[in-house]
Structure 1
Amino acid sequence: MLHSGEFENPFADPRRDVSKFEGRRWDHASYDSFRGKGELLPGLHTIAHNQLDIDVYYEPAGSDTTVAIFHAALSRPDAPLPMFTGARVTQDGPVNRIYVSDPGLYSDPSLTLAWYAGASELPLQKILPGIIHKLVDAAGGSRLMFFGASGGGFAAMYYSRLFPESLAVAINPQTILREFPSYTLRQYTQAAFPGIPQADVLDRAICSDLRRPYAESFPNHVLYVQNTQDDHMEKHLAPFWEAVRGNDRLHVKLGDWGDGHVPPPADEIREIIASITAQPGPWGKALDAAGYKSEVSMTA
């Protein structure tokens, strides 16, 4: 076992604390080192890349289904990292879990949201798929789900599309980063891409608008869960739906869970996921069997 001290980062984020993972912590000197690793043991795997650590927690269960889980924005700037959430909503039934903490947050200790889009020294949207591939291969099984809410929902939808026949379950996701409050977006782009104009970051450095890739091809499945009292309904769901109108791989579940950017209760999210994973076969058939028919309108 290697420990993170062997790859000491002089710019380490003070929020980062991996002490609770002692005894189940595995560090990798580089992306290539991780990809070339033989057996992957359960626990925290940290992949060093320049000065930003990519932290993933691998929890195999011998299941045919693997769930990659992306967290939403931190609830406060000093929240401890790495951040791994989603255990409760995926607890029904044995599934392999891959928890991913957003390494873009290490760009600046004040950041709370980075959309898993990376930084100037970390092309995360290009290298994270290879990390997930490695973990999925290690876990085995034939079905892969990506899960996330809000900013994590953006990530779930982005990365799922790179894995044909996978499923993204996205709760109140952003789909167009320009439609997010300007302060938070500016804080991210300035910290993660210093000296680069925000327009260049959004247009060239990262994929910031999911309409473009999904309009080009839709090789995966998406269950898009949206609160009708959230402004994301108009700013994110409506334009995305227009871009992919008529695609039977998009399934939309609308609900009224309160005023504003409010997700369904955790137990309801858990039931949604359990109802799908309990169904056998490919995700398209599983979604139909669970009652999530392909949407041809945005009527609740």
Structure 2
Amino acid sequence: MSWSLKFIDEARSFERWGVLKQEIITLEEFEKRDGLKSGIYSIYANGALVDINIDIVESLPLIVFFNGAQKRTPEVTLPVFSGLNVTPKGMTSRLSINDPSLYMGDDMLMSWYAGSRFVPLQKEIIPRIISKVVQSIDASRLIFSGGSAGGFASLYYSKHFKDAICITSNPQTSISTKRVLEQAHI
């Protein structure tokens, strides 16, 4: 398994998303933004690159989507934004978050949005991004959704937001060293 960060631009393409892309230097800059707009944001936080796709409809429920395992091919590049066709456009706000650990290498298929001791995704980065979006769009409800490793992330993050709902399918809830090594064929 490749544990060093690869050159991210080689693994990244926004062609298939066809929406505005806004580079953000830091998480703090993202949090200071007034009036978020629909589109893709690239947020750099603690050495991680977190790509998000927001489709905003003010004052309606916000569904936060997490992706499952992602095998890359020439046709399937990062970032991956799950859930864009789950609800009809205009009926809810949607926030799709690409798992930043997938940029570590082509053989990294999933990492449960867990981060590491150096990249505090669970304790800091992702909760701050979600909180900013909820506050900015005045979401009437917060719903988390995902399947497989994204299901694990949905379960995990939903418990940290008061009155949040979680809709998941086949959540992979067992993260063990043995399983990770088997996945990586080590």
Please give the range of the TM-score, normalised by the shorter of the 2 chains: 0.7 to 0.9
Offset, 1:149: 0.4
Gaps in structure 1 of 5+ consecutive residues: 1-8, 191-300
SS in structure 2 at match of 1:177: coil
Q: Are the equivalent residues in 1 in contact too, given 2:6–2:104 (CA < 8 A)?
A: no
Q: How does 1:207-226 map to 2 (within 5 A)?
A: none
TM-score, normalised by the number of residues in structure 2: 0.84
Aligned position for 1:46: 42
State which of 137, 161, 166 in structure 1 corresponds to 2:164: 166
Q: Say if 1:31 and 1:48, in contact at 8 Å, map to a contact too.
A: yes
1:133 to 120, 131, 134: 131
Q: Which has the higher contact order (CA 8 A, sep 6+)?
A: 2
Letter in 2 for 1:155: A
CA distance in 1, matches of 2:105, 2:6: 13
Residues 1-300 of structure 1 mapped to structure 2, 5 A cutoff: 11-12=7-8, 14-19=10-15, 24-74=20-70, 76-78=71-73, 79-91=76-88, 94-126=91-123, 127-178=125-176, 181-184=179-182, 187=184
CA distance in structure 1 between the partners assigned to 2:72 and 2:166 by the alignment: 27
1:145 touches 1:166 (CA, 8 Å); kept in 2? yes
Q: Distance in 2 between matches of 1:14 and 1:109?
A: 10
How much does 1:23 deviate? Answer: 6.3
Question: 1:40 is matched by which residue type in structure 2?
Answer: L
CA contact (8 A) 2:57 2:92 kept: yes
Change (3 A) 1:95 1:179: farther
Displacement of 1:31 in angstroms is 1.1
- Deviation, 1:172, is 0.9
CA distance in 1, matches of 2:22, 2:93: 18
User: For the aligned residues, what is the CA RMSD?
Assistant: 2.5
Identity %, equivalent residues: 31
Number of residue pairs the alignment of both structures matches: 178
CA 1:92 to 1:30, structure 2 compared with 1: closer, same or farther past 3 Å? Answer: closer
Secondary structure at the aligned position of 1:53 is classed as strand
**Measured at CA, do residues 180 and 92 of structure 1 come closer, stay the same or move farther in structure 2, by a change above 3 Å?**
farther
Q: CA deviation at 1:151?
A: 0.5
Which ranges in structure 2 are unaligned for 5 or more consecutive residues? none
CA drift at 1:112: 1.0
The question of whether the paired residues in 2 share the 8 Å contact of 1:113 and 1:184 is answered with: no
TM-score (norm 1): 0.54
Deviation at 1:51, TM superposition (A): 4.1
The 8 Å contact of residues 148 and 155 in structure 1, kept in 2 or not, is answered as yes
Counterpart of 1:83, as a letter, is V
**Cα contact 1:174–1:180 (8 A) shared by 2:** no
For residue 130 of structure 1, report the CA deviation from its aligned partner. Answer: 0.5
Deviations 1:225-276 (A, max 9, x none): xxxxxxxxxxxxxxxxxxxxxxxxxxxxxxxxxxxxxxxxxxxxxxxxxxxx
